[in-house]
């Protein structure tokens, strides 16, 4: 995990060392498109008051989950002035959490989602240095679960699974830098998982993990990049010296 953090920080620094579009080309009242990608560090808790492994009481402990693939999308930016604007877009996100139950059981649960954000921007938009905050609705469409027990693994995948709501809503805030990098925090308003009193079967007929899947909060911090897809503004014409034609 330490190496993962170092890689994420390195990518963020590299991103901010390259500017995809010069300051002079970013003007208000014109639509601009960006391509985005983010590295996600997510975590969340499940209610562990009733959690047990084959009848023996255990506590659930959240573990930070790192996700690098696939978390990309496209944003449409519109600036009303040099200091105020908004963006929307469409993106795909790999989001979920990991929980340890005692020393013997680890459960990894994730979803692929299709998201539609709406955010307001405030800052020096000409230099692409701003803060943004807003809300997003996501449709969860691909659920995957991995259960580890005594060095045994069991995995399960389902499209449009009944383990969670089809739609979830979140609030987020972010800081964007001139080089195109950003740091974002997101909190989901609904439970990540639906109420499940059936528990989870452990691998190799190891019994059953019982836990209350609601409430099941989910949140994350991410480091990412948002770069312009193309240039929308004409370059400034170079001033000519009449003596050059002599």
Q: How far apart are the first and last CA of the chain?
A: 66
Instruction: Return the pLDDT at 20.
Output: 44
CA distances from 13 to 8, 181, 194, 200, 241 (A): 9, 8, 39, 41, 40
**Structural Rg of the chain based on CA atoms:** 23
Report the alpha-carbon distance of residue 146 to residue 196 in Å, rounded. 16
pLDDT of residue 19: 44
For 73-95, what is each residue's pLDDT tens digit? 999 999 999 999 999 999 999 99
Q: Please determine, for residue 113, whether its predicted confidence score (pLDDT) is greater than 50.
A: yes
- Confidence (pTM): 0.84
- Residue 23 — pLDDT band, cuts 50, 70, 90? very low
Q: What are phi and psi of 197, to 5 degrees?
A: -100, 5
Question: What local confidence, expressed as pLDDT, does residue 109 receive?
Answer: 94
| Low-confidence winner among 10-19, 104-113, 170-179, 189-198 (lowest mean pLDDT) | 10-19
Q: Name which residue leads in pLDDT, 213 or 40.
A: 40
Q: List C-alpha distances in Å: 68 to 13, 50, 77, 124.
A: 16, 33, 24, 29
The pLDDT mean for the chain works out to: 85
Spell out the residues 6+ positions from residue 38 whose beta carbon is closer than 8 angstroms to its own.
71, 72, 182, 184, 222, 223, 224, 225
Instruction: Decide the pairing of beta strands 56-57 and 46-53.
Output: antiparallel
Point out the least confidently predicted range of 3-7, 26-30, 147-151.
3-7
- In this predicted model, what pLDDT tens digit does every residue of 98-108 receive, in sequence order? 999 988 899 99
Element (H, E) at 7: helix 2-15
Question: Which of the pair, 17 or 9, is modelled with greater confidence?
Answer: 9
Q: CA 228, 90, 218: angle at the middle one, nearest 5?
A: 115
124-145 pLDDT, tens digit per residue, is: 998 999 999 999 999 999 999 9
Number of helices followed by number of strands (H, E) in the chain: 1, 15
């Amino acid at each position: 995990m330490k190496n993962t953090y170092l890689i994420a920080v390195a990518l963020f620094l590299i991103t901010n060392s390259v500017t995809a579009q010069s300051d002079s080309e970013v003007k208000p009242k014109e639509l601009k498109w960006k391509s985005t990608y983010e590295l996600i560090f997510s975590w969340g808790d499940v209610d562990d008051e009733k959690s047990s492994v084959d009848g023996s009481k255990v506590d659930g402990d959240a573990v930070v989950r790192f996700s690098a693939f696939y978390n990309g999308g496209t944003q449409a930016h519109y600036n009303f002035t040099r200091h105020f604007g908004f963006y929307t877009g469409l993106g795909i996100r790999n989001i979920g959490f990991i929980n340890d139950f005692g020393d013997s059981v680890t459960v990894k649960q994730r979803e692929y989602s299709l998201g539609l954000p709406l955010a307001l921007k405030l800052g020096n938009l000409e230099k692409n240095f701003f803060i943004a905050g807003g809300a997003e609705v996501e449709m969860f469409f691909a659920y995957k679960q991995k259960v580890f027990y005594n060095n045994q693994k069991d995995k399960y995948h389902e499209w449009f699974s009944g383990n969670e709501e089809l739609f979830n809503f979140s609030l987020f805030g972010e800081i964007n830098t001139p080089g195109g990098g950003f740091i974002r925090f997101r909190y989901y308003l609904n439970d990540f998982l639906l109420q499940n009193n059936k528990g989870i079967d452990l691998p190799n007929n190891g019994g059953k993990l019982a836990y209350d899947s609601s409430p099941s909060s989910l949140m994350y911090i991410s480091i990412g990049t948002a770069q312009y897809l193309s240039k929308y503004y004409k370059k400034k014409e170079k001033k000519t010296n009449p003596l050059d034609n002599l």
